[in-house]
Amino acid sequence: MKPTPPGWPRITAALFYDDPRAAIDWLCRAFGFEVRLLVEGEGGRVEHSELEYGDGLIMVGGTDTRRAGQPWRERLASPAGIGGRMTQNLAVYVDDIEAHCARARAAGAPISVEPVTSDYGDAYWSDRSYGAFDCEGHMWWFLQRLRTGGKLHG
C-alpha cells in the first residue's frame, strides 16, 4: 500500500450528531479528544471537523439534511434521533482505563459496561476495558492493553 497523506490514519470514522457543535465540546470534555480542524458554514453550522485522540482521528458532522445536491445526507442519523439504535461502535486505546472512565463518568457519560479485564490467553492478549455512550447515544469502547502474546492474528 502507498503511504497515507501526512497526518491521516489509514482509516477513520465519521459520526453524525443532531447538534455537532455540542457533541464536539462534549467529546473533548468527556473522552479527551482535541479539535484538529473545525470548518464553520452559514450560521455557525459545522461543515467539517476533525478530532484527534493520540494518533487516532474521527470526523464529526451534523444530521442536517437540507444541503442541496447531497441526497446521501438523507440517510444520516444520530442514535438520539432513531430511538437509541446504532449501527457501529468505536474502540479507542487509552493509557489509563480507570482515569479515563472516571473522567467520562464525571462528564455525565452513561457507562454501559464497568471496567473489566478480558484475558484471551498467553498466546493472544489481555485488555482492561469499559463501554460508554456519548451525549447522543453513540457507543464507545475504551481499552488499555495489559499484555500482548505471540498471536496477534487468527
Quick: pLDDT tens for 37-49.
999 988 888 999 9
Q: How much is the pLDDT for 68?
A: 61
Distance CA 8, CA 50 (A): 10
CB–CB of 41/61 below 8 Å?
no
CATH number of 13-148: 3.10.180.10
Q: How much is the pLDDT for 22?
A: 97
Q: How much is the pLDDT for 78?
A: 92
Neighbouring residues of 38: CB distance < 8 A, sequence distance ≥ 6: 24, 46, 48, 49
Q: Which pLDDT tens digit goes with each residue over 68-117? A: 677 888 888 899 999 999 888 999 999 999 999 999 999 999 999 999 99
Phi, psi of 4 (to 5 degrees): -75, 165
Global pTM? 0.90
Per-residue pLDDT at 133 exceeds 70 = yes
What residue ranges do the domains of the chain occupy? 13-148
